[in-house]
A and B are shown apart, each in its own frame.
Chain A
């Protein structure tokens, strides 16, 4: 596609439920990133994919968070047993940077509200 697409744009869920957030990166972009942005805060790195593998999962806050990427394209971020502190905007970005500068193209984000 022309840009990075994320769905859903908004998700309201009850505490304890599982949620899945989807990211469709720019075609041909090999790298994919998930960040989290809480209200009025900066971006918190969650996980990075190069192709289908995740060399850096260091930002995942707990084992309730997992992510996968299939076919070197679409990625899904899953949050199990959601908690109120998981409420945030989840941003996905992709890039094509085999070498040199890594410039990210972001999606519009998925706003998650846990009641």
Chain B
């Protein structure tokens, strides 16, 4: 069964705007990761946040984690057309496999 569920399913914005995607999960986790998938390609790891962390930054990416609400958000600031992709959250509950959500499809228009 899906552990992470992303919201919204699709998001359309203009270049320069910020994009926020949310992920909710059901069980305790060791860490939560975000991946990006360009059309027709494999997934690429973006950022990892551990269960004892609340916020993490990497370039234009900002991830938050609220373990009490079992939720995470991914913020992409100053978006570019090249950010157009699907974004997936993945939870690591310490069982050696990651469980992925269904993803948010982001479209950034020039």
B44 to A106, Cβ gap below 8 A? yes
Known: A42-B2, A42-B88. A103 touches B45 (CB 8 A): yes
A96 sits at the interface (CB 8 A): no
Q: How far is the CB of A38 from chain B (nearest CB, A)?
A: 10
Given contacts A56-B96, A106-B43, 19 further A-B contacts (CB under 8 A): A33-B98, A41-B102, A42-B88, A42-B100, A42-B102, A45-B98, A45-B100, A48-B96, A55-B96, A56-B95, A93-B42, A101-B92, A102-B96, A102-B98, A104-B98, A106-B42, A108-B41, A109-B41, A109-B42
Chain A proximity mask over B88-110: 1 for CB below 8 Å, otherwise 0: 10101001111111110000000
B48 sits at the interface (CB 8 A): yes
A43 to B42, Cβ gap below 8 A? no
> How far, in angstroms, from A50 to B96 measured CA to CA in the complex?
9
Q: Which residues of B contact A41 (CB under 8 A)?
A: 102
> How far, in angstroms, from A103 to B48 measured CA to CA in the complex?
8
Q: Which residues of B contact A (CB under 8 A)?
A: 2, 30-31, 33, 35, 40-45, 48, 50, 88, 90, 92, 95-103
Known: A42-B88, A43-B88. A103 touches B99 (CB 8 A): no
Q: Which residue of B lies closest to A111 (CB)?
A: B40
A105 sits at the interface (CB 8 A): yes
7 A-B pairs whose Cβ atoms sit less than 8 Å apart in the complex = A41-B102, A42-B102, A43-B43, A48-B96, A93-B43, A102-B96, A104-B90
